[in-house]
Amino acid sequence: MKLNGKAIKYKILFTDFDGTLFSKNKSISPTDVRILQQLGQKGVTRVIATGRSYFSIRKVLPENFPIDFVILSSGAGIMEWPGKRLLKTFSFSAGLSAAITAFLVKHGIPFFRQDPLPHNHGGYYYLNHTQNADFKRRLNLYRKYLKPVEKVPDYRPASQFIIMEQEEESIRELFGSLLSQIHLIKATSPLDHQTIWLEIFPEAVSKANGAQWLLDRLGILGKESLAIGNDFNDLDLLHWADGAFVMPDAPLQLRKLFPVLTLKDGSILSPLFSSDLP
């Protein structure tokens, strides 16, 4: 294949979903669908790497959408798309989940605690009188799948915790010895597109680690990978991939680090591949 006139052979494509492949007007460019089909015919593995849950991504992607895998919940799970089969999941043990729950309650930090995949659209919440509009928006959206956390934490595994409008450095300082067992991933809210979420995952979880797991499984070299992203939770994947691009409306921090795509009629893939595809 050719990229900007230079012959580079990529064997695997990773693309973020919301705000990238799935535009902010809630649609996917027909050109991108066609290019994904053609890439598959050329033997390129196609992967969506998203912050969405198993439940959420299945609501918006057609059954026959031309991809091979989905990295779910920023790396907490990996799904084979044609068969909708979960290949790998990560979660906190019941003991560590309870410890994090107790820690957040002790410090009065509102949070969502999500169940393990594939049910991580459900779980528990701790409100603590928060007036955060985005927290309440998410709570209302998933209320029928969520229960309030009791004063004494129950011992159940969890895929992740979500907190909002907390400074990352202050949370790192608060966590102390627990910090070595978690991975904090920052993301812009998919609901209001401005509130910053801090998601607390098991330490091995990231889009990059999910991508590497897939490469090891498929026998593909890292230097043969291309990634496209638009937000902070794509940062590790963009650094990891051999080729990386970001969307024009990505945060300034990302646009300073990676080449910015110039979209062609709303397509993110056409500028990269159209000259090499019929």
Residues 266 and 169 in one domain: no
Q: How many CB atoms lie within 10 A of CB 183?
A: 19
Give 144-160 pLDDT, tens digit per residue.
999 999 755 678 899 99
Give 29-57 pLDDT, tens digit per residue.
999 999 999 999 888 999 999 999 999 99
Residues 211 and 198 in one domain: no
Residues 102 and 196 in one domain: yes
What CATH number is associated with residue 269?
3.40.50.1000
Task: Sort strands 225-229 and 243-246 into parallel, antiparallel or unpaired.
Answer: parallel
What CATH number is associated with residue 117?
3.30.1240
Give me the residues paired with residue 3 across strands. 6
pTM of the model: 0.92
Residues 183 and 99 in one domain: yes
Percent share of the chain, pLDDT over 70: 94
What range does the domain containing 191 cover? 94-202
The H or E element containing residue 59 is helix 54-60
Per-residue pLDDT at 33: 95
Per-residue pLDDT at 152: 56
Residues 48 and 67 in one domain: yes
DSSP for 98-167, please give it: HHHHHHHHHTT--EEEEPSTTSTT-EEEE-TT---HHHHHHHHHHGGGEEEPPSS-----BSEEEEES--
Residues 83 and 125 in one domain: no
* Domain termination site, one of 202, 226, 258: 202
Number of domains, the chain: 2
Residues 103 and 192 in one domain: yes
Contact 246, 263 (CB under 8 A): no
* Domain termination site, one of 182, 202, 222: 202
Residues 193 and 150 in one domain: yes
Tokens of 52: 């969405």
Residue 25 has pLDDT above 90, yes or no: no
Give 159-169 pLDDT, tens digit per residue.
999 999 788 88
